[in-house]
Structure 1
């Protein structure tokens, strides 16, 4: 990526990453490279990478196919689940079409039941995710990772060695370090870029099949941003917002826009779309690669875990590090675990961190954009 390009153009290139990846996915298939379709950050990508397979996030952030999904699924179901199923059923997701195997995890009841129907369209492997981050849960998750390895070896007639897994761990850790170094630019005050652009870049990298190139791309982009920042502080001081809660890719990005259109900046994303997935590394010194992978992935602070201490731990750190003025909790309609958890997050943010908190329930439609703008304007005015 050439540094002489203007930053807005570079950000848009990352935003186009998903569309460009459609073509690359077909190229992978033409080369007989296995493609694994996934939905969640709990998927241990190192296992697929060690086999030489590519991993891609499946289409699940638009209301385009929800009407089709509702012919089979309940209407009062999480839009992410309905979108996931709808794209599979209608064959409108190129990534799903080209995937040789779909891997899901039992993060919530809705998803694990949806996977049963998803297997009508593609081979599906479901990993049994523990309900808690206990030692017993850790052993179960380690067993599930080894089971995934065996499934891939059998399905693709391959051998995944521990040395290959160690190499993959290093590659993924380097990617995590690079992504974290980039989104930590949100700590700058005044801000160096909009939260919308931070999200475009991080989301765009999830559609990059060459994981070893991501650190170089991030270093070039960081250099460009820092260079412009030293010569021009183009963003005035405004309230600094941290977003937590459900994944917000695709249509749900309207929340970021509503915040920044109404007088604030999104400087940090605690949710699994950004920090939750990459904040911690896999321990490269652990001689047991499966134990190392289990500990890293099971540490993710998703609301499907009970109790969910790790979400509070990461929130606490990020609120301080990013000098946050308020927290906005984004909840997808009918996502019961995140919805129930809003009470504990509100108590923590209000009582422990002494800053304002607001929860926002939304879906993948555009029907609530006016309401979002009204609520954000009022909330930010209060700040």
Structure 2
């Protein structure tokens, strides 16, 4: 079966992304590290920079982080901070500046601890997105980020550059969304590993080369579908993953689904489709406002009310027809954990689909329990 990427990084999507960042930096681009999908990458690309995702998913640096941070803190925050303290995160070491955001209390306090390492701008995200003035306030923060980049790197980001960046990102987002839509095929023609690789690639890829790569992937998946080259058995149970970001050591949950012979057909998370699910209005006359409106629609659990998440779940369940929705929550991520109450009710009662809540961290200690629970949930269908 033809792989989606013809390179040396088949099993290492993060190394592919790292190679992209290194290549652009060597060509003169400034590297802007980001911890969240709310960071407006259009502004970074408009400057001629390249975004690099800094969220970490490894258990290895957590003991170092716990020398400073509380033990009962989100593992993603501890892992990210631990890598910085150990100076072993290649993405962070490449950054020229970092953008943060106020999505959760743990991260925004971590930003105070890392600002000594890099120029840092923290975007103040309004968390009641439907309230009057929320969009205007978020535009103010987007503009503040733009001004930070201009002052830090002695450059100017024009409206024309922002519009061009919006067009390029929109084109890319539409292609990524088209790739993820192949998850609706039954039997499956795309694996979750391939979805994850595409999402990871697209974060630091831009321009004609990226568009050509994504179009080639669509052609490959179309050929698989037409030639009946399936990645799962026809009888395989179908699973949609939703909830917190996934990657690194927390991919243990997805691998356990594989071991049960099921097929993961969708990744509804910040390391999956979520950053690419929408587009920004083009030619609006106010590109910063257009960017603000688009990003404020991202359905993260930090928002209240987070009605957008339920709209997305409805679309995903109707399109992908999963037998099971797994709501993956990282320990101490209180927003996603509390929101599972409403998500479970909605998935079971309104969408008529089986549901499993999984709360985990980056360790391997709960593998046996997770395997048993996932197997039991799949058997219930």
TM bracket, shorter-chain basis: over 0.9
- Mapping for residues 143-222 of structure 1, pairs under 5 Å: 143-206=140-203, 208-222=204-218
Q: Is it true that 1:141 corresponds to 2:138 in the alignment?
A: yes
Q: Is it true that 1:50 corresponds to 2:46 in the alignment?
A: yes
Q: Is it true that 1:79 corresponds to 2:75 in the alignment?
A: yes
Task: Tell me the SS of whatever aligns to 2:43.
Answer: helix
Aligned counterpart for 2:315 among listed residues 311, 314, 317? 317
Cα shift readout 1:256-312 (whole Å, capped 9, x = no counterpart): 111121131111122122222111100114221111100100100000000100111
Deviation at 1:27, TM superposition (A): 4.4
Asked if the contact 1:166–1:289 (Cα under 8 Å) also holds between the matched residues in 2, the reply is yes
Task: Tell me the SS of whatever aligns to 1:103.
Answer: strand
Deviation at 1:214, TM superposition (A): 2.2
Q: Is it true that 1:124 corresponds to 2:150 in the alignment?
A: no
Asked if the contact 2:169–2:206 (Cα under 8 Å) also holds between the matched residues in 1, the reply is no
Alignment correspondent of 1:225:
221
Q: Is it true that 1:350 corresponds to 2:351 in the alignment?
A: no
Task: Tell me the SS of whatever aligns to 1:198.
Answer: helix
Asked if the contact 1:127–1:144 (Cα under 8 Å) also holds between the matched residues in 2, the reply is yes
Cα shift readout 1:310-365 (whole Å, capped 9, x = no counterpart): 11111111110111222110000100000000000001011111111110011112
Deviation at 1:157, TM superposition (A): 0.3
Alignment correspondent of 2:31:
35
- TM-score normalised to the size of structure 2? 0.94
Asked if the contact 1:11–1:201 (Cα under 8 Å) also holds between the matched residues in 2, the reply is no
Alignment correspondent of 2:240:
242
Aligned counterpart for 2:268 among listed residues 267, 270, 273? 270
Asked if the contact 1:14–1:201 (Cα under 8 Å) also holds between the matched residues in 2, the reply is no
Q: 1:44 and 1:15, CA in 2 relative to 1: closer, same or farther beyond 3 A?
A: farther
Q: 1:24 and 1:183, CA in 2 relative to 1: closer, same or farther beyond 3 A?
A: closer
In structure 2, the gaps of 5 or more residues are: none
Asked if the contact 2:257–2:264 (Cα under 8 Å) also holds between the matched residues in 1, the reply is yes
Asked if the contact 1:176–1:278 (Cα under 8 Å) also holds between the matched residues in 2, the reply is yes
Deviation at 1:81, TM superposition (A): 0.6
Report the count of equivalent residues. 378
Task: Tell me the SS of whatever aligns to 2:271.
Answer: coil
Give the RMSD, CA atoms, in angstroms.
1.8
Task: Tell me the SS of whatever aligns to 1:49.
Answer: helix
Asked if the contact 1:17–1:205 (Cα under 8 Å) also holds between the matched residues in 2, the reply is no
Greater CA deviation, 209-218 or 184-193?
Answer: 209-218
Q: 1:209 and 1:113, CA in 2 relative to 1: closer, same or farther beyond 3 A?
A: same
Greater CA deviation, 116-125 or 171-180?
Answer: 116-125
Asked if the contact 2:176–2:199 (Cα under 8 Å) also holds between the matched residues in 1, the reply is yes
- TM-score normalised to the size of structure 1? 0.94
Greater CA deviation, 145-154 or 269-278?
Answer: 269-278
Q: 1:367 and 1:242, CA in 2 relative to 1: closer, same or farther beyond 3 A?
A: same
Asked if the contact 2:126–2:137 (Cα under 8 Å) also holds between the matched residues in 1, the reply is yes
